Structure 1
Amino acid sequence: MMSHPGLVRTLDTPELGSTELARIFAVGTAVPETAYSQRDLIDRLGITDPRVRSVYLNSAIERRFLTLPESGPDGIRAETTGELLAKHKAQGVSMGTRAVQECLKHIGAEPQDIGYLCCVTSTGFLTPGFSALLMPQLEMGRNTSRVDVVGMGCNAGLNSLNVVSGWARSHPGELAVMVCIEACSAAYVFDGTMRTSVVNSLFGDGSAAIALVAGTTPDTHTDQRPAPRIVDFTSCVITEAMQAMRYEWDTAKNAFSFYLDPDIPYVVGRHARSTVDRLLARAGLRQDDIAHWLVHSGGKKVIDAVGVNLGLTRYDLRHTVGVLRDYGNLSSGSFLFSYERLLAEGTIRPGEYGVFMTMGPGSTIETALVRW
């Protein structure tokens, strides 16, 4: 049980049968120290191809936080697979630790209070994984349950939140934390091709942590921010587009390389409506009932496709667009950066509904319904 009873207590009579819905009590984020504008990156990477320059400059991204190698004697910025994996580990542990600490700070909790830790990443492979590596950094208790979700891509934050929410419901009063750790620059290949240039122009490094507790009665955090209940999740796996987003070994380059099919925005857009309709129908809601939309900042064309197919306004997508502009695509943690901005805005009212939506390899659309 947690050591601050003013925040959490077990209910005598849960609202939903034998369990209570998990609630989001805090979020925290972290990024590397170094940030670059898109134009600065073009100059640093020595990009002269007009087509590639256009990809960077027309991305709707102004700045990203990245960890880049220094140029070699020949002016080329290259890293071996071993160096990329080392960067994934070092940056991941650093960002993940800081994101969890920032998250816990909002609720006056300590790492020792965490009963369940879920770490999510798609930018490298480690054994032991981040869930074990973060424990000594955070001085967590050795009896903490943990899991690593690796390789699911940009949608993985909601896949994992579903699992963490389930653990919280089955352990009322105990603190569950999910942390998305994406050192995307550890997945970069600098070869000048359009395939890798699209990826290199889009993704940024960042980590986001979220704290859940079920079986609780307080309506606010200790810092007076609202704590929404997680009502439901739905998934849509578009198997006919399984190869449209993939991260695989490129034998020609002797490195891992990420591939994004140009048709991805249209694939996601075509399936957005049916996925959201299913989520809302299960709760007896209509789209007009949703006050807040937090969509994955997957890229300008993806955001536009989702917005058009769902009839969302620029105001609905303001945080999604803002995160893309200021951070780029942060993979699995992007929607939590948007959620952090929504909280800071202070516009949420009790009783309002919100939809979280992420998209990624599979091809997959994940959604979650929350209520404040």
Structure 2
Amino acid sequence: MLPTDLLMHRQNGEEITPKRLKIDKHNLEIATDIITTFQENLGNIQAALDRQLQELEGDSPDYRLKRGLAYLLRSSFCEFEIVSPLEPPMLRERVFALAAQSAPSPQQSHQVLEQLALQLSRELDKEVFPEQIRTGLYADLAENRIMTRFEPPTPEALLHRYNLSQVQGVFYRASHLTLNAHRNVPGEYKLLFRYLKLFQLMAYIEGDADHGFTITVDGPASLFNPSTRYGLAIAKLIPALLHVTKWSLSAILQTRDFYTNNWKTGRFTLNSECGLVSHYPPGKPYDSMLEAAFVERWNATKTEWVLEREVDLIPIPGSVMIPDFRLVHPDGRVFLLEIVGYWRPEYLQKKFSQVRRAQSDNLILAISERLNLEKAGVKMNDVPARIVWFKDKLLPRDVLKVMD
């Protein structure tokens, strides 16, 4: 995604329109030039790349467009690494200590590098050259890092990523988002709900699989203070939404007036006919760190119970639940596992209300002990589910115990 200073949006009244590029000859040529510049600098330091990109920008009025394309390439398609015989701070310490033993001079500097190169060659059991020490001294500075990997996208793919990033930037300051997922293939709902869980978005879901769902997402500006981090989480949902066949959304935004610096309200709408292209692979199972760690521990456990990610939607009046996992035993027993991690009080109240309305007799709730349920107004004495408490990590043995 793009940083705020590279976003280009137009506002007409309350309606906000992000800049989107046409996939035409002119823009494809710009994208090709920037991709070629990156390819030519594979193996070079970042400063060399920056100089060529600056020359490419020149004094043209579309410098922000070129800078945005370069930012996407730098952040998503290549890697810069520190290349040095030792960690640069350690290398500097060795060089300076050795150089302090004699008077400074060009000849002495060369001798110091030669002497240290011999020492490091013996210590590291590989040949180290004086020039490697010279370039490695300040290799930890950003401009001296070396591009070690570049996987170039096609010019068309880069332009699509740019258009998507401009739209994603709209949601950085969203205060409220309403998403209507119309009647679709059930698997598309599951994928969408999984992404809601992955990005830890506080969403309230109403509807059913036969008629579609209305999903209300709290935005960063609706919390105690506007949070760009939470806005980024909402923005990350958009590429996942593009895998759903039919949908529409509307968002209320909190933006700063350019002249007065006062907050003002903006509105943005989008639907499945928007023409944006997702770079997320369809159906890829993304897990939170907590869930991923649980899966890893479960796979190391000797048990007949099989842990599955593909779970069924649990219909409840006016809404739906989609648990994190399904546990299946060869004898036919099935349990559904929902992990309740770190959420704010309003969400916890809705979550436990859903659990009560679901009236599912095979539901297991794994609840973090870090949650202050009493403060959130949640009473545990009437929750129709089996409960597993955990601290920092959820252990398979605790889940197995409540099933047995």
TM-score range, shorter chain: under 0.3
Higher CA-based Rg: 2
Give the TM-score normalised by the residue count of structure 2.
Answer: 0.21
Give the alignment's TM-score, normalised by structure 1: 0.22
Larger RCO: Structure 1 or Structure 2 (Cα < 8 Å, ≥ 6 residues apart)? 1
